[in-house]
Amino acid sequence: MLYRSTRGTVGANAPNFSDILLSGLADDGGLYLPTHWPFVPRETLNLWRTLSYPDLAAEVIGLFTEGCIDLETLRTMCREVYSQFDHAAITPLVEVEEGLFSLELFHGPTLAFKDMAMQMLGRLFEYVLKQRDRHVTIVGATSGDTGSAAIEAFRGRERVSIVILHPHGRTSDVQRRQMTTVKEDNVLNIAVEGDFDTCQDMVKAMFADEKFRNECSLSAVNSINWARIAAQIPYYIRAALALGAPDRQVSFAVPTGNFGNILAAWAAGQMGLPIRKLCVGSNRNDILTRFLLNNDMSVHKVEPSLSPSMDIQVSSNFERLLFEMLGRDSDRCRAIMQEFRQTGHMAVPHDAWKQTRENFCGLALNDEKTLKAMARFYRRSHYLADPHSAIGLAAGEHYREAGIPMVAAATAHPAKFPDAVKKATGISPGLPPHLADLLTREEHYQVLPNDLARVQEAVLAHRHNH
């Protein structure tokens, strides 16, 4: 399996999976995608229904690592990674209302869906870096959950230094402390005075600085790294198979920030999974819903909300979908993305928008409506949902159709957002035993201004100290 950039042509030396795993972002600023989508026949989907989650994940990821990592090695990795999750089903399905299911993706070590892919990434990096005898510096931006999942996956690894940027004062206490209480010396946390888009822009700028990128051997684990998306595809296939696919269509609703999680569901459809609808759930930062309803992809100011992981205006992974909707025309994709960067408005051609609308729908909830949704699902079904998951469930409830299962991705454990959950339901969700003392642990992080040079200095110093 070979890969190409959304902003470049397919060259004679197209990179393989190991290449793009370590590089993350393409040299031309684009995002990597496979040169073709692997198709999974119905017979194979039916066979996959009998597999455990780790073995199914190995089969799916193996389609994208072909030529780099063999299936038996992947199987061993997946079995070890998912043995750390605290639910036997790994990704249990809970029927919240008739025909509306919650796909619980928060049973990993940091209580968020990011663990599903990030724990695999830690093992994949370790394998490839050892093969190539290399050391890399991972730099990532987080709006809440990605950072803690990345730190948990890479803490203490000899061949990796990791730096995570988060917006100062804009994550929940639990989210921040899951990052800042880690003591391993290969971990650096930086709180940037700005919002998530500020942090994300800094990461992109560091990758765009060729001298800095090479000096630090930069690598990315945000969802701009294709391996993250590849490792998220299996749970959509698993859920659909449990509900009757491939003989039955299934719809998915996903609370969406950076567009990576729902893109993985779309990718499963490209591979042959019969998907009826993909529903984007947004909070008050509703750029994706505005785009889907009115072709309005214009950046507004990021506003803090009860669902901070979705406090995003520039959804990086949307570029991958745009590239596909433009018929894989990299020149058009590059021009549109460059104009978007300059003007804050993405001029998506009408035909591409119309094609997107055939696959996607959107619903946005402000904080008040989010609390009402949380209260409603608890009152009706005794189902405790965090603010992000409640938005996904509400989007699923809004768009479900008779006879077609609607699966909403539950992306975070309620205990990650205890104040919002208590306000909505009166219930104070407790942290699991392994995190019970989290709020009393010592924190370690730097607060830096919105100054790229200052942040780069800190990254360089960390690189040289580890």
Q: Which domain holds residue 262?
A: 89-108+227-425
| CA 194 to centroid of chain Cα atoms | 21
Q: What is the CATH number of the domain that holds 396?
A: 3.40.50.1100
- Label residue 12 by pLDDT band (50, 70, 90): low
C-alpha closest to that of 125 among 176, 180, 81: 81
Longest dimension (CA), the chain: 60
The reply to whether 411 falls in a domain is yes
**How far from 112 is each of 180, 201, 413, 415, CA to CA, in Å?**
17, 24, 6, 10
pLDDT tens-place string over residues 122-136: 999 999 999 999 999
CA atoms of 179 and 164, how far apart (whole Å): 8
Phi, psi of 40 (to 5 degrees): -105, 115
C-alpha closest to that of 218 among 179, 260, 162: 162
The reply to whether 304 falls in a domain is yes
pLDDT tens-place string over residues 57-73: 999 999 999 999 999 99
Q: Which residues are catalytic?
A: 114
User: What's the pLDDT at 193?
Assistant: 96
Residue 138, sorted as left (phi over 0), alpha (psi -120 to 50) or beta, turns out to be: beta
CA atoms of 420 and 358, how far apart (whole Å): 34
User: What's the pLDDT at 222?
Assistant: 79
Query: Average pLDDT, whole number, for the chain?
Result: 95
C-alpha closest to that of 182 among 2, 388, 435: 435
Provide the domain count of the chain: 1
The reply to whether 245 falls in a domain is yes
pLDDT tens-place string over residues 308-351: 889 888 899 999 999 999 999 999 999 999 999 999 999 999 99
pLDDT of 151 higher than 80 = yes
DSSP class of 192 = E
Peptide bond into 432 cis (omega under 30): no
**How far from 364 is each of 172, 180, 285, CA to CA, in Å?**
21, 31, 8
Instruction: Report helix, strand and coil shares of the chain as percent, to nearest 5.
Output: 50, 15, 35
C-alpha closest to that of 223 among 150, 307, 165: 150
Is the Cβ–Cβ distance between 44 and 239 less than 8 Å?
Answer: no
How much is the pTM? 0.93
